[in-house]
Structure 1
Amino acid sequence: MTETVLITGATSGIGAEFARQFAARGCDLVLVARSPGPLEEAAATYRALGVGAETIAADLLEDDGLARVLDRLRTAGGDHRAPVTVLVNNAGYGLVGPFADNALEDEIRHLRIHVEVPLALAHAALQSMRPRRSGTIITVASVAGFTPRGTYGAAKAAMISFSRWANPAYGREGIRVTAVCPGFVRTEFHQRMGMETSSVPAALWLDTGLVVREALRDTAAGKAVSVPGLRYKTLVALARVAPSSLVARLAARGR
């Protein structure tokens, strides 16, 4: 059966790269993003390659938008739409200011997009995956989840912890759950949040192709956590044993 992959934040950055690599494997796509124009352009590109591509223009922080994506994930194939076999939770953004300097509403929305929304989508996906005893849930987290890195790191740590639990818990039912934890990636992410990155060493930048290739390899291997890039694997290992004060100082310099 052809895989059907639903990707949030599918028109740029890591999400767009997931779409490209899954399409290259012959998978059908369900592309989710806020802007209809870029969505339809992306879908047309994949359809021209012979890949099925649905679109859902939805703001996942709005009840209606989230509900439409949840409904698609719960589809079991009875309404002439193929069930989603792979969910990629990728949508998200960062806040440049420290926690106490940001508006509380901004912090709550930030927490929702990185924790509440991916948990809701994973829950819906499991409703159709469990009866089939197969499926894959990938959540784009961050190496920030291994460090004291403000509320962004805290949110990503929550999803890392969830994946570490859910992967063995649902692995018994044939479902893989993986948190992908990149560091600095060459996308629009940092520019959109207004973060200065000129001091980040060139060696710490990853390209989206490598991130997604390693993510898919680790997911296929059944890993609960994927840390793309040897340098970041080393940094994560050091973060686990280094003094917290040192890790916090270093983490303050980057994503």
Structure 2
Amino acid sequence: MPTALVTGATAGLGRELAEQLAEAGHDLVLVARTTDRLERATEEIRGRHRVHVEVLTADLTDRDALAAVADRVADPDRPVDVLVNNAGFGLGSPFDRTTLAQEEALLDALVRAPMVLSHAAVGAMTARGRGRVVNISSVAGFMASGSYAAAKSYLTVLTESLAGQLAGTGVTATVVCPGYVRTEFHERAGIAKGERRGPFWLDAERTAREALADAAAGRVISVPSPQYRAVVHLLRHLPRRVLRSGPVRRRHRADPPASRA
């Protein structure tokens, strides 16, 4: 059986991606910060799909913990066939109202962790001549709307670069750029998003299914849903000065909660 490693796998889109990979016959390595949530997810996925599930508790902003996950990704005796870099969080305040520690943690989770794990995966996968790297970015990465958007922009461009460099190796790289998805992300980041209804709120199950189908097809950039593909097309053609204008600045408390998977 092939094996998929998914970070941020206990909730939201990460949990749905893990479920669908198990449904498709993959054994799993689930990575998240909270052991009890990992164990609960493991029990449920095993019961539904009868696959082997391994658990790694790791805060990917901790460099030693991240190194342990990278070692697992690169282990030649227990190959990881699909790496899904999904873990992350958002900040509920603008740059001048967050702490430096929060900004550094955001970079560690959204930039350094997927870079380190992608590097580990690419080395192991190219040696075997097969494998798949799936990085979960965001439509925000095509905008200029804060640290989160900047981090996702890095991840999108890194994955595009990897895809070109890996051509002909048997290894593919896909970056998934969803828009708003109905998960707990916004609550945990302290970002109010109302009732979450309408055409621009996506279902996690459908988003994950489209993302995995695009990755299996070797597509470099996956933008789930036609409405967000239209948005990205527009964003790519707008003048940068328009993208820099962004939404009206909101007032938040100085030290907001952060969503961590």
Q: What TM-score, normalized to structure 1?
A: 0.93
**Pick aligned residue for 2:203 from 180, 204, 207:** 207
Q: Which position in structure 1 is the counterpart of 2:252?
A: none
Change (3 A) 1:223 1:252: farther
Aligned partner (choices 171, 179, 185) of residue 175 of structure 2: 179
Partners of 2:248 and 2:111 in 1: CA distance? 21
Bigger mean CA deviation after superposition, 89-98 or 59-68: 59-68
Partner secondary structure for residue 83 of structure 2: strand
Identity %: 42
Number of the residue aligned with 2:11:
12
Aligned to 1:66: 66
SS of the residue corresponding to residue 26 of structure 1 reads coil
Residue of structure 2 equivalent to 1:51: 51
What does the per-residue CA deviation read over 1:175-196, in whole Å, with 9 as the maximum and x for residues that have no partner?
Answer: 1101100000000000000001
Q: Name the CA distance, whole Å, in 2 between partners of 1:96 and 1:210.
A: 27
Give the equivalent residue in structure 2 for 1:23. 22
Q: CA deviation at 1:74?
A: 1.2
Q: Deviation of residue 97 (structure 1)?
A: 0.8
For the residue of structure 1 that corresponds to 2:5, the secondary structure is strand
Mark the CA change 1:22 to 1:251 in structure 2 (over 3 Å): closer, same or farther.
farther
Q: 2:133: which partner in 1?
A: 137
Where do 5+ consecutive residues of structure 2 fail to align? 250-261
The 3-state SS of whatever aligns with 2:193 is coil
- Residue 98, structure 1, aligned to residue 113, structure 2: no
**Secondary structure at 1:117's aligned position in 2?**
helix
Which stretch shows the higher mean deviation, 195-204 or 46-55?
195-204
Q: Which runs of 5+ in 1 are unaligned?
A: none
State the shift of 1:92 in Å.
0.2
Query: In 2, distance between residues paired with 1:47 and 1:240?
Result: 42
Change in 2 beyond 3 A, CA 1:201/1:23: closer
Shift of 1:25: 0.7
User: Is contact 2:8–2:32 with CA below 8 Å preserved after alignment?
Assistant: yes
Distance 1:194 1:31 in 2: 26
Q: 1:108 offset after TM fit, Å?
A: 1.1
Aligned-pair CA distance for 1:251 = 5.7
1:150 aligns with 2:146: yes
CA distance in 2, matches of 1:251, 1:207: 24
CA distance in 1, matches of 2:168, 2:147: 32
Written as runs of structure 1 = structure 2, the 5 A alignment for 1:172-251 is 172-198=168-194, 202-249=198-245
How large is the RMSD of aligned CA atoms in angstroms?
1.8
Q: Distance in 1 between matches of 2:232 and 2:244?
A: 13
- CA shift in 2, pair 1:42/1:18, >3 Å: same
1:3–1:27 contact (8 Å) kept in structure 2: yes
Aligned to 2:257: none
Moved more, 50-59 or 239-248: 239-248
With a CA cutoff of 8 Å and minimum separation of 6, indicate the structure with the bigger relative contact order. Answer: 2
Write the letter of the residue equivalent to 1:75: D
218-227 or 87-96, which moves further after superposition? 218-227
User: Is 1:120 paired with 2:116?
Assistant: yes
**Number of residue equivalences:** 249
The letter of the residue matching 1:94 is G
Q: Is the 8 A contact 2:60 2:108 kept in 1?
A: no
CA shift, 1:246, in A, is 3.6
Q: 1:37 to 1:225 in 2, by over 3 A?
A: same
Equivalent residues of 1:148, 1:251 under 8 A apart = no
Aligned partners of 1:43 and 1:55 also within 8 Å: yes
24-33 or 199-208, which moves further after superposition?
Answer: 199-208
Asked whether the equivalents of residues 3 and 29 of structure 2 are also in contact (C-alpha less than 8 Å), the reply is yes
Deviation at 1:243, TM superposition (A): 3.2
Q: Give, in whole Å, the separation in 2 of the partners of 1:100 and 1:249.
A: 17
